[in-house]
């Protein structure tokens, strides 16, 4: 027989596949480390989500108020809710001791400082002080531009504040 003949060829025999198990000890350490890291990250995100619950609730109330602001007859009912909502939100975010005693220009300055804006002392946010104490006839004198300007300032403030600001204010 000729050694170069094709009849002497045999099928290729592949090697047995390498098993994935048991893994090296380093793989177990890496897996546990990743699992612990994901658990820590999930807990941290959940705590942040819980901590910001007050803001989500305030924004929900603001969206409901916005729907009613389209009707000028509702201004008398809805605008007085804004100062109370802002005060409650600020108390939750910054603490009763720091917020409860503020009123007038000091209150507006605090809102400007925490909201990183100047719209409460120099813009349409000034109307916030009047919304609680003015007679109902006063609300009829407000234009839609003033009403929505106040609403937008309040909405922006609630949207942007964070509890972490308390460290910067002390």
Q: Which pLDDT value is given to residue 149?
A: 94
pLDDT of residue 168: 43
Preceding amide of 170 cis, omega within 30: no
For the chain, domain boundaries? 20-51, 52-169
CA 126 to CA 59: how far, in whole Å? 20
CB 120 within 8 A of CB 158: no
For residue 165, the model assigns a pLDDT of 43
Give CA separation, 125 vs 18, 33, 45, 93, 107, in Å.
Answer: 71, 50, 33, 19, 11
CA distance linking residue 36 with residue 31, whole number of Å: 9
Query: What pLDDT score does 167 carry?
Result: 44
| Neighbour-count burial of 44, counting CB atoms closer than 10 A to its CB (0-12 exposed, 13-18 middle, 19+ buried) | exposed
User: Is the C-alpha dihedral spanning 144, 149, 152, 157 positive or negative?
Assistant: negative
Q: Are 101 and 111 in contact (CB under 8 A)?
A: no
Cis amide leading into 22 (omega within 30): yes
The residue assigned the tokens 């120099």 is 122
pTM value surpassing 0.85: no
Would you write out the chain's pLDDT as a tens digit for each of its 170 residues? Answer: 677 777 777 788 888 888 888 888 999 999 999 999 999 999 999 998 998 899 999 999 999 999 999 888 888 899 999 999 999 999 999 999 999 999 999 999 999 999 888 999 998 999 999 998 889 889 889 898 999 999 999 999 999 987 644 444 44
Other CB atoms within a 10 A radius of the CB of residue 153 amount to 24
Question: What is the reported pLDDT for 1?
Answer: 63
Amino acid 80: pLDDT: 92
DSSP state of 37: H
């Amino acid at each position: 027989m000729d050694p170069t003949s094709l009849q002497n060829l045999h099928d290729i025999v592949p090697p047995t596949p390498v098993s994935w198990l048991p893994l090296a000890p380093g793989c177990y350490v890496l897996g546990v480390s990743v699992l612990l890291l994901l658990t820590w990250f999930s807990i941290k995100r959940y705590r942040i989500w819980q901590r910001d619950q007050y803001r989500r609730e305030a924004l929900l109330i603001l969206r409901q108020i916005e729907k009613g602001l389209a009707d000028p007859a509702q201004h008398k009912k809805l605008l007085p809710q804004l100062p109370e909502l802002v005060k409650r939100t600020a108390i939750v975010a910054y603490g009763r001791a720091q917020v409860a005693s503020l009123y007038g220009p000091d209150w507006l300055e605090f809102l400007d400082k925490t909201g990183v804006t100047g719209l409460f002392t120099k813009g349409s946010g000034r109307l916030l002080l009047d919304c609680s104490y003015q007679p109902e006839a006063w609300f009829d004198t407000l234009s839609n531009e003033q009403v929505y300007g106040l609403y937008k300032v309040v909405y922006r403030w609630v949207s942007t504040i964070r509890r972490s600001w308390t460290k910067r204010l002390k």
